[in-house]
Amino acid sequence: MPSNFSKNLIIFILIFALFFSLYFFLRNIIYDTDDITYTMNAESGIKNDYIFWSSQHPLWGPLDVLAYQASKKLGNTEGALVPLQFINSIFGALAVSMFFLSLYILTGNRIVSLLVAMIFGVSFYFWHWSGCIKHYSVATFFTVLILYFIVRLEKGGTLNALGAGLATGISALFHSANIIIFLPIGITILIMKKTIIRNISNFLTYIIGLILFFVTPHLFIMNYFLGIQFNNFFFWAPSYPWFGLQTRFQGFDFNFNLQRLPIFLDRFWNIMAGFYSYYGNNPLYYFIWKNYFPILLILTGFFFIISIFRLFKERYPLMIFFILWIVLQWIGLWFVDPFNFFIYIILLPILSIFAVSLTCFIEKFKKSRMVQYSSILLLLILLIPLFFTNLFAAIIPAHQYNPFMETINHYRNIIKRTDTVVSSGINPDSVYFKYFIRANIIDIVGLHQHYPTIKPDEILKRLKIQVNSALQESKIIYIHNDLLNEKTEVPPWAPSNMNMSSISQFFKKNYIIEPIPGDDIGKYLILKKKHDKKQP
């Protein structure tokens, strides 16, 4: 008979093979602006401080560049999009496999652990992130690794405390919000063992790991690349989980504003659905995603209440760990912009409680085969609809929607690499044109950001120089129609010296604007010099 290690290794490999195939071969074909920006950074081989350009995700840049350069060594000539998706798919599949091992150590039930880990793997959020460009799946893998070391620490071994510290640091380097798990981990370690000395020893070992792989890298990045002095370390540290490296602590608004309640409930209700899904235009899919998480939460609560006395009697440190982790995530959802919070990671502690509670319920009625089979059937009922919903959403491209990708697909046969596109910068079209068509870009917002203190009239003089130069060098110049509308709203993040009324008048006064022949959308128009038009 195969040993437990052999059985778990075989299942680990099978899970990895299954989910890597799902994530990579059914990867996203719809890219948002972040995807394109990370890809362009990887291809340009960003250097010096720009390699750590994302203050909330300092290791994203280096990993992107490394993955792309490695793919070039292996013969890739098609750019960085697929190599970055390949890396995410690997770490996504590894995260599901490691979650299985963690649950098995936690519950001792291989079937429950396998099916619950698969529920996490086919959850919309994680499936979506594991097939895209962003490295959320990488951060999730190291977060699962934290869970793995913590459940192993319950059975002993100081090295597990060190491993948890290292995993916490690396996880936060890929997503700053993950550092908040430090609090429940620290409390759990201090109450884990019966001897105070052993608890303190494990806690200090955990802190050593955290210093080595979180504090030290950040001090290096801050001082050497960003020029932030060491004495500012504790000044920005309180805001780091939410706003990253390059911010300064301004204090938090801990005001229980009831106006936030609808937003909070919406984020809560849509944890499985995603709040900017590119697949949400299918009502059936959205219905399943939207109602899945509340059902899962109700079932978790049901089994947890039934098994609560046994769980807290035998496993109270881990129960406190999971509950504190969930509470901190909810606090983040209430007080912080959910886009800055890794809200689908909340599935990890919830599913862990679900797995261990369900296992206790099965053991309580271990003589009843009906209870065992019913429990497995329940897990399959949770797993199968979610799996096929995401599978069909990934297979059928018509279900994937991004208006900016549609714009690119429409104009890529019209606008050429030798052309110039004048973009407001208010919408992200310019990013797509720059990557997919490689056209020259004149970004109006970018121009204002480069000269934030110059008066609008001076900005327009510099803009005229750029446009006239492009008219001499480019085959054709195209202009976005929002630059011709005086009522186009300037977003709050745009520079204060940007005035759409003066910009619109500038183009109408100095240039001729004509429609593109045969273009039925009219989003972009042709820009010409005044004297290019023949007078009758």
Q: Give the tens place of pLDDT for each residue, 402-413.
A: 677 778 888 888
Give the pLDDT band (50/70/90) at residue 16: very high
DSSP 346: G
The predicted pLDDT at position 14 comes to 97
Give the pLDDT band (50/70/90) at residue 255: low
The predicted pLDDT at position 244 comes to 56
Instruction: Judge whether residue 422 has pLDDT over 80.
Output: yes
The helix (run of H) or strand (run of E) holding residue 478 is strand 477-480
Looking at per-residue pLDDT, the higher value among 446 and 281 belongs to 446
Q: Which of 8-22, 363-377, 460-474, 512-526 shows the highest mean pLDDT?
A: 8-22
pLDDT in tens, 136-189: 899 999 999 999 999 999 887 789 999 999 999 999 888 877 888 888 999 999
Separation between Cα atoms, residue 218 and residue 225, nearest integer Å? 10
Q: Are 331 and 346 in contact (CB under 8 A)?
A: no
The predicted pLDDT at position 536 comes to 39
Helices 369-395 and 283-335, interaxial angle, to 10°? 100
- At residue 138, φ and ψ (nearest 5 deg) are -65, -45
Separation between Cα atoms, residue 191 and residue 320, nearest integer Å? 10
Give the pLDDT band (50/70/90) at residue 371: confident
Instruction: Judge whether residue 394 has pLDDT over 90.
Output: no
The predicted pLDDT at position 229 comes to 56
pLDDT in tens, 300-357: 888 989 888 888 888 888 999 999 998 887 776 666 654 444 566 888 999 999 999 9
Q: Are 165 and 208 in contact (CB under 8 A)?
A: yes
What is the three-class DSSP state of 420?
Answer: strand
Looking at per-residue pLDDT, the higher value among 286 and 232 belongs to 286
Burial 355-382 (b: 16+ CB within 10 A, else e): bbbbbbbbeeeeeeeeebeebeeebeeb
Rounded to 5 degrees, what angle do the CA atoms 179, 181, 186 make? Answer: 110
Looking at per-residue pLDDT, the higher value among 424 and 479 belongs to 479
Average pLDDT over residues 351-375: 89
Q: What's the pTM?
A: 0.85
Instruction: Judge whether residue 376 has pLDDT over 80.
Output: yes
The predicted pLDDT at position 34 comes to 79
Structure tokens at 258: 């009831």
Instruction: Judge whether residue 397 has pLDDT over 60.
Output: no
Percentage of residues of the chain with pLDDT beyond 70: 79
Give the pLDDT band (50/70/90) at residue 37: confident
DSSP 491: P
H helices within 346-455, ranges in order? 347-364, 369-395, 403-411, 429-432, 444-450
Structure tokens at 122: 């086919």
Separation between Cα atoms, residue 119 and residue 344, nearest integer Å? 13
Instruction: Judge whether residue 514 has pLDDT over 80.
Output: yes
Give the pLDDT band (50/70/90) at residue 254: low
Neighbouring CB atoms inside 10 A of 309's CB total: 10
| Amino acid type, 390 | N
The predicted pLDDT at position 316 comes to 87
Average pLDDT over residues 529-533: 64
Separation between Cα atoms, residue 450 and residue 431, nearest integer Å? 17
Mean pLDDT of the chain: 81
pLDDT in tens, 65-111: 889 999 999 998 888 889 999 999 999 999 999 999 999 999 999 99
The predicted pLDDT at position 71 comes to 93
The predicted pLDDT at position 257 comes to 61
